[in-house]
Structure formats: structure tokens, C-alpha cells
Amino acid sequence: AQSVTQPDIHITVSEGASLELRCNYSYGATPYLFWYVQSPGQGLQLLLKYFSGDTLVQGIKGFEAEFKRSQSSFNLRKPSVHWSDAAEYFCAVGPGGYNKLIFGAGTRLAVHP
């Protein structure tokens, strides 16, 4: 069955520290991969996406993610976290065709000053 797993429900980091949010997927073929961020009471904003090509993708707000086919992973990273990065982060996969995305349960990020 197709699924997305985000193993960390909550993560707390200090401002200025590096960040890595994990995402593993189960899918029969190479999927399209996305990271979205959701601030409290807001909709989802696309951070970055992977469709093909270079496995290291750059996104907005200084985020990047690396697709590792052998590990079925698409982890999100940021070298230095800002207090404004506190939010919930969702990894999603798409089968191609139309945008019927499968989302992980999310990782809630807290940032300490």
C-alpha cells in the first residue's frame, strides 16, 4: 500500500541550530515528492518538490531536501533554523497523473530562542 511515514511527531531545536525532518515513503514506482509547511490556522504552503533529475532540491526559506531512492526517503534539511520556522511540516507523495497526494501525519517543529 502507498504510504508516507514521518517518524518524528514533535521536534524541538534551538534557534540557529541545524534541522533535519525525516520522511519515508512506500510506493511502487518513483513518486513525485513534496514538502509543505502549515503555520497555525493557515493553509499549506509548498516548500519544495522533486519530480526528476538532481536528487538534491532547493526550496523556499532556505530549505532543501534530498531524494534517496535506495532508502525511500526524502528528508528535509535547513542549516540554521529561525524562530519563524516553527510550524508543522508535511511530506507528501504523488503518483503522477493528477494531484491525488498522500500525506504523512506531519512533524511539529518548535524553536527555542
Partner 1 sequence: NAGVMQNPRHLVRRRGQEARLRCSPMKGHSHVYWYRQLPEEGLKFMVYLQKENIIDESGMPKERFSAEFPKEGPSILRIQQVVRGDSAAYFCASSQGAETSGANVLTFGAGSRLTVL
Residues that bind partner 1 (CB under 8 A): 4, 32, 34, 36, 41-46, 49, 51, 90, 92, 94-106
Q: Looking at beta carbons only, is 51 or 83 nearer to partner 1? A: 51
C-alpha–C-alpha distance, residues 65 and 59, integer Å: 8
Q: Looking at beta carbons only, is 46 or 56 nearer to partner 1? A: 46
Spacing of C-alpha 64 from chain mean position: 9
C-alpha–C-alpha distance, residues 41 and 78, integer Å: 23
- At 92, list the grid cell: 507528501
Contact 25, 4 (CB under 8 A): yes
Q: Looking at beta carbons only, is 7 or 96 nearer to partner 1? A: 96
> Is the sign of the CA dihedral 39, 33, 61, 107 positive or negative?
positive
Closest approach, Cβ 22 to partner 1, in A, equals 14
Closest approach, Cβ 89 to partner 1, in A, equals 11
Closest approach, Cβ 14 to partner 1, in A, equals 25
Closest approach, Cβ 17 to partner 1, in A, equals 25
> Is the sign of the CA dihedral 71, 76, 80, 85 positive or negative?
negative
Q: Looking at beta carbons only, is 57 or 111 nearer to partner 1? A: 57
